[in-house]
Structure 1
Amino acid sequence: MANCTDLYGNTLSTGSQAAAEAYNTGLHRLLAAQVDMVAPFEHAIALDSRFALAHVGLARALLNVNDGPGARKAIEQARSLVQGCTAREQSHVHALGLLVAGNSAEAYPAIRAHVDSYPRDAMVAQTCSSIFGLIGFSGLPGREAEMLAFNAGLLPHYGEDDWWCLSQYAFALCETGNLDKADQVIDRSLALNPDNANGAHIRAHIWYETGEARAGTDYLTDWLTGYGRSGVMHGHLSWHAALWALEQGDTARMWQIVDADVAPGAALGLPINVLTDTASILFRAEIAGERVAPERWRQVSAYASRFYPKCSNAFIDMHAALAHAMAGEAEPLREIIENPAGPAADLVPDVALACREIGAQNWAQAAHHLTRCMADHARIGGSRAQRDLLEHALLTCLLKQDRTDEARHLLALRRPILAQSAAWQQLPVQL
């Protein structure tokens, strides 16, 4: 058997150097969220059908293009091929197999144990490193600090010249408020690999948190020209661009981006991004004074019902509740209120009830429900930028009750960067 290794020096049990090279191409594309991450793993399998980790890589890539059945088939094939593989590869297949099968409760301890033993197995470590990972969606208090600790713990094993590890560390720094250091780390990461879509995304978040709307707009406008629309991050990066267009008063540009690259029927990304990004930008547009056609809300509500008919993730359910409430769809909204499930499910009813009251313009009741879940809404998941949806909602409720001073104080206390933005300095609300 050839002496093959992955990008991080881990042994690969394949007799084909070409298959190993194809696997590494797929691994690179997956970590960087580049377009066409499926094909390299398929090519590796074509060169060596018994290459177990190529089947795992294919499963992970298929999940990124929303092919759950294909991913589960690929992971079962990997499981059938582990005999004769190294201990690391067997652990790799087991841990990621639990994840692909949807067994997050068992996957998380298996993955953490694997990373403790094999910290340079980036394919596995990646599942805990981001806000949409197992820590990010754990629903537990302190998730942001835990992500920072996890990514900081990886640094000694990857060094200062690994673009992937640096980018994940930068995001964890950003989400815990260490913006100066995050800025330095992401610049280092992007200098090593400027084509990293995850890195471009993190760069955008840091500029969002520092209020650099023009710099962010210019960067994303240029960066997206070289990134295919089928890239898993394309729609979400477009959402960031749309947010900045709205903040800068260029609503024509905002709608152009939404209709081309964010909304259902246009975006090619994962359903979680299509739903949450569209619901978020529509709500922000409304409170900024833009007229949002009712059909837009009905479209997002229908999309949520199609892809997420049952509760399972508080971050998704928050946005689905908003879409249903704004569209006047009482039954799917009732389902979310009465049957929350998954991590942070205890926060979902109040968020959904607040959305219902906002849809009915019952501002005091909505503010009551929002206040009950604001103390630790980080447990819901997503980034600070995404959870600003809740901050905007509560501010809107206060302003609608002429509680302007309270709204100003709350904004300055909870999200001072928003208080400095052009969109909120005059505290406009048109909903």
Structure 2
Amino acid sequence: MQHDRYGNELTTDEGAAARAYSRGVDHVLGATHGADIAFAEAIAADPNFALAHIGAARAAMYAGDMAGAKAALGRAQALADGVSVRERAHIGIFALLLSGKPVEARAAVLAHVRTYPRDALAAQICTNIFGLIGFSGEPGREAALLAYTSALMPHYEGDWWMMSMHALSLCEVEQTAASLELMEASLALHPRNANGSHFKAHALYEEGRTEEGRAYLDTWMREYEPETVLHGHLSWHQALWAVEAGDWDAMWATYRGAIAPGASHALPINTLTDGAALLWRAEMAGADVPPEDWQRLSSFAAQTFPDPGQSFADIHAALAHAMAGDGTQLARFVDAGKGYAADLVAPIARAWKAVARQDWAGALEDLTPVMSAHVRVGGSRAQRDVLELTWLLCLMRAGQREEARRAAATRRPIFSPVAPIAAFS
């Protein structure tokens, strides 16, 4: 019997398989390149190692290969009779996840970690803003995420991965100083942990430290492989800071080289949401966005997220369609009735439609009621700033400039007194 890096028993007698599996898990946890290779090595060393097939499924998910993920899951399920109780439950969690049952998968993870808190690959499913808690659509999800990582932290003393996950939870509830301290400790243990660098970028963003953030990511990204899952999103952070600095050459170079459809190696949801948010935030800040960029992004959205259902993607698809002038595609989201936050998607889509025709009062009518609850659509505070900034823009354009300044000061102080909106100050 072998063990993984976290001390969990593994049903394999091959030390090489166990070591390769642990490397693969670390690649998943750190969002670094090589998970698929490591899990393939584990399977080659022991084809009957069920959890190595689950690892391969997880790596395929991050590569956007859902067919490959389901095939790997099937191979693991065929081996499930010969594994431990923990491993069988672990396989069952991924079966729920890959069957499109996020509510059931989340409940299964929460139950599982009470008994097996150090089963990191299973625990990871509910961490992060893009995990099952982050995309629950429930009020108070940020507090729920903090509670989840807080409960796990004592079981992971000195562990770089859990430090970075808990640091993000702290950041999302505005405890940025504590977040940065913990993130630095995580990165000291594993400097190439991409999740760590990502969440450090979030904390620096929340503190308005634009120049420091740009310098940090510009250096860190030099050795981060473009085909890795977080490369596109980390590039988005770089581009946002370029927007705030008014460095349009850097912003466009980053967008066209690493974020736009066809350039990004990220998952489709990141390509869509990062692309739409960046183009609109650049436009609000004074950039001229060529219509063809919106049209390409709208076409990408129509191919990858044609119908409502994934609310965070939906609000960005609606934005792309509105700015591209595709009323037919936009109408699907204006009438959204499906998705964990569908009740918010529809008014946001109507607001984008109004913004596109410069009906600022109409946009405010739809957007204002959403502002107290938009945490439910998912994403980080930084990502949801596309809504905060749009609301400020609409207030300004509707002649409510002083109200816009008060709103910035009370809701998002990092945008007061200067927000990245043309003529805000």
Report the TM-score, using the length of structure 2 for normalisation. 0.98
**Paired position in structure 1 for 2:106:** 108
Distance (whole Å) between structure 2 residues aligned to residue 425 and residue 189 of structure 1 = 38
**Structure 1 contact 171–202 (Cα < 8 Å) conserved:** yes
Distance (whole Å) between structure 1 residues aligned to residue 3 and residue 246 of structure 2 = 51
Counterpart of 2:80 (choices 79, 82, 98) is 82
Distance (whole Å) between structure 2 residues aligned to residue 141 and residue 395 of structure 1 = 23
Superposed, which structure 2 residues align to 1:112-261 within 5 Å? Answer: 112-159=110-157, 161-261=158-258
- Measured after TM superposition, the shift of residue 340 of structure 1 is 3.1
Superposed, which structure 2 residues align to 1:360-375 within 5 Å? Answer: 360-375=357-372
Structure 2: which amino acid aligns with 1:221?
Answer: D
**Paired position in structure 1 for 2:343:** 346
**Structure 2 contact 286–421 (Cα < 8 Å) conserved:** no
Counterpart of 2:44 (choices 8, 21, 46) is 46
Counterpart of 2:382 (choices 375, 381, 385) is 385
Deviation string for 1:380-424 (max 9, x for gaps)? 100000000001111111111121001101111110012144635
- State whether structure 2 residue 41 is matched by structure 1 residue 63: no
**Structure 2 contact 118–155 (Cα < 8 Å) conserved:** yes
- Measured after TM superposition, the shift of residue 108 of structure 1 is 1.3
Structure 2: which amino acid aligns with 1:119?
Answer: P
Structure 2: which amino acid aligns with 1:41?
Answer: F
**Structure 2 contact 285–422 (Cα < 8 Å) conserved:** no
Task: Give unmatched runs, 5+ long, in structure 1.
Answer: none
Structure 2: which amino acid aligns with 1:37?
Answer: A
- Measured after TM superposition, the shift of residue 346 of structure 1 is 1.0
Deviation string for 1:313-340 (max 9, x for gaps)? 1110010000000000011110112133
Structure 1: which amino acid aligns with 2:366?
Answer: H
Distance (whole Å) between structure 2 residues aligned to residue 425 and residue 290 of structure 1 = 9
Structure 2: which amino acid aligns with 1:398?
Answer: L
Distance (whole Å) between structure 1 residues aligned to residue 13 and residue 284 of structure 2 = 59
Distance (whole Å) between structure 1 residues aligned to residue 323 and residue 218 of structure 2 = 31
- State whether structure 2 residue 400 is matched by structure 1 residue 403: yes
Task: Give unmatched runs, 5+ long, in structure 2.
Answer: none
Summarize the Cα distance change of 1:147–1:293 in structure 2 as closer, same or farther, 3 Å threshold.
same
- Measured after TM superposition, the shift of residue 84 of structure 1 is 2.1
**Paired position in structure 2 for 1:18:** 16
Structure 2: which amino acid aligns with 1:411?
Answer: A
**Structure 2 contact 284–422 (Cα < 8 Å) conserved:** no
Distance (whole Å) between structure 2 residues aligned to residue 421 and residue 225 of structure 1 = 30
Superposed, which structure 2 residues align to 1:416-427 within 5 Å? Answer: 416-421=413-418, 423=420, 426-427=423-424
Structure 2: which amino acid aligns with 1:62?
Answer: A
**Paired position in structure 2 for 1:93:** 91
**Structure 1 contact 354–370 (Cα < 8 Å) conserved:** yes
**Paired position in structure 1 for 2:300:** 303
Deviation string for 1:353-388 (max 9, x for gaps)? 001111111110101100011111101100000000
**Paired position in structure 1 for 2:352:** 355
Distance (whole Å) between structure 2 residues aligned to residue 108 and residue 422 of structure 1 = 37
**Structure 1 contact 419–425 (Cα < 8 Å) conserved:** no
**Structure 2 contact 201–213 (Cα < 8 Å) conserved:** yes
**Paired position in structure 2 for 1:328:** 325
**Structure 2 contact 341–376 (Cα < 8 Å) conserved:** yes
Distance (whole Å) between structure 1 residues aligned to residue 309 and residue 13 of structure 2 = 42
Measured on the aligned residues, the alpha-carbon RMSD in Å equals: 1.1
Structure 1: which amino acid aligns with 2:77?
Answer: R
**Structure 1 contact 96–111 (Cα < 8 Å) conserved:** no
Identity over aligned pairs, percent = 46
**Structure 1 contact 170–202 (Cα < 8 Å) conserved:** yes
- Measured after TM superposition, the shift of residue 124 of structure 1 is 0.5
Distance (whole Å) between structure 1 residues aligned to residue 221 and residue 237 of structure 2 = 11
Report the TM-score, using the length of structure 1 for normalisation. 0.97
**Paired position in structure 1 for 2:34:** 36
Counterpart of 1:291 (choices 264, 268, 288) is 288
Distance (whole Å) between structure 1 residues aligned to residue 294 and residue 32 of structure 2 = 31
Deviation string for 1:20-76 (max 9, x for gaps)? 111111001000000122111111111111100001001011000000010011111
- Measured after TM superposition, the shift of residue 345 of structure 1 is 1.2
- Measured after TM superposition, the shift of residue 105 of structure 1 is 2.3
What is the SS of the residue equivalent to 1:135? Answer: coil
